[in-house]
Structure 1
């Protein structure tokens, strides 16, 4: 029949921009049946279409008990990284913070609820600090474009930027307790709008 569009397969991933430039929320297609679910976190062709990097150098996961807060973490140059995070199990309140000094959203943060059932993910470029609060026992998967470099490991104090965390006394590591505030952090990051996806 003429005039009808050909049937095209549904894309395995759909991305929508978040408030912080270059950051996206990615919605994968979740395949469910009586056995459970299957979710594809990375699809090179689709990532390329959105201008995203999909050549990750490390993948790892963290398990966090309810009430745990991790963050706000960032890798400094020359080990800065693009990062993709996905909640595989449980529910977290994911947080991203813009540390790029000439960004229009420098110092601003965004809250992104993630859970294992829906499978949504957050993609962030270099210069974005990341953290999350575990609303339930939660498993988080990370994809990053550089290998972990302890000398370039840094962070911002979790309670120094006005984030509305669900808990005023979360479970923290000693390292996360001692990070500097945003006001004390001398950021080496700059904003590159020409490299922003979408």
Structure 2
């Protein structure tokens, strides 16, 4: 496993070691011990999967404390642009984002810690997206910010006219209008 740091503290790209031969390939998609040593100690408790077609944009989502979540995301089939946004007030990178292309071909994963919003756009005809979460889904704790907030300035790599959103994702506030975000000086992993 190769870890690539990004411009956002704690957000890392995970590249697995892939072993290929004429029969196909094999790789270890997750090892608790290796992840704890290379990224941070964490306990994932829920795995999710979604299937989406070209133009679908999901995000920018997060769960508010005390149900905040970290996510380890990857694409099994297709290609997405995966985005993490720093929403920790007081952070030197508050409002900045990292965008990484994840695909079934490159097998990269992105780790998004607590304190960051997450979203993705589907660049291929369809994509199967999987993610591990370190806290259970809590609907009462849902939070989100607008996918097209000009202050964040994400290039989703699809024309705005092709973007397919849920009704819910059409109505999120801007980063500045979001009522509850995270605080940079709070440890959201403390038990």
1:54 CA displacement = 4.0
Distance in 2 (CA, whole Å) between partners of 1:95 and 1:177 is 17
Q: What's the offset of the Cα at 1:55? A: 1.6
Does structure 1 residue 164 correspond to structure 2 residue 155?
yes
**1:173 and 1:131, CA in 2 relative to 1: closer, same or farther beyond 3 A?**
same
Once the 2 structures are TM-superposed, how far is the Cα of residue 50 of structure 1 from its aligned partner? 1.9
Q: What residue number does 1:125 align with?
A: 113
Q: Is the 8 A contact 2:114 2:188 kept in 1?
A: no
Q: Which residue of 2 aligns with 1:147?
A: 136
| Normalised TM-score (structure 1) | 0.86
- Contact preservation (8 Å) 1:96, 1:110: yes
Q: Structure 1 residues 37, 192: CA separation in 2 closer, same or farther (over 3 Å shift)?
A: farther
Length, aligned pairs only? 184
Distance, in Å, in 2 between the alignment partners of 1:94 and 1:74 is: 14
Alignment of 1:1-198 (within 5 A): 13-136=1-124, 137-160=126-149, 161-166=152-157, 167-169=159-161, 170-191=163-184
Distance 1:25 1:110 in 2: 10
Kindly indicate whether the alpha-carbon contact (under 8 Å) linking 1:86 and 1:121 is maintained by their aligned counterparts in 2.
yes
Contact 1:100 1:187 (8 Å CA) reproduced: no
Deviation at 1:193, TM superposition (A): 9.2
SS of aligned partner of 1:45: helix
List structure 1 segments (4+ residues) > 4 angstroms apart after TM superposition: 192-196
CA deviation digits over 1:30-88, x for unaligned, max 9? 23334433332211221122242342110011111011111011011010011100111
Task: Indicate the RMSD between aligned Cα atoms, in angstroms.
Answer: 1.9
Shift of 1:110: 1.3
Distance 1:92 1:34 in 2: 27
Larger radius of gyration: 1
Unaligned runs of 5+ in 2: none
Deviations 1:101-128 (A, max 9, x none): 1111001111111111110000011111
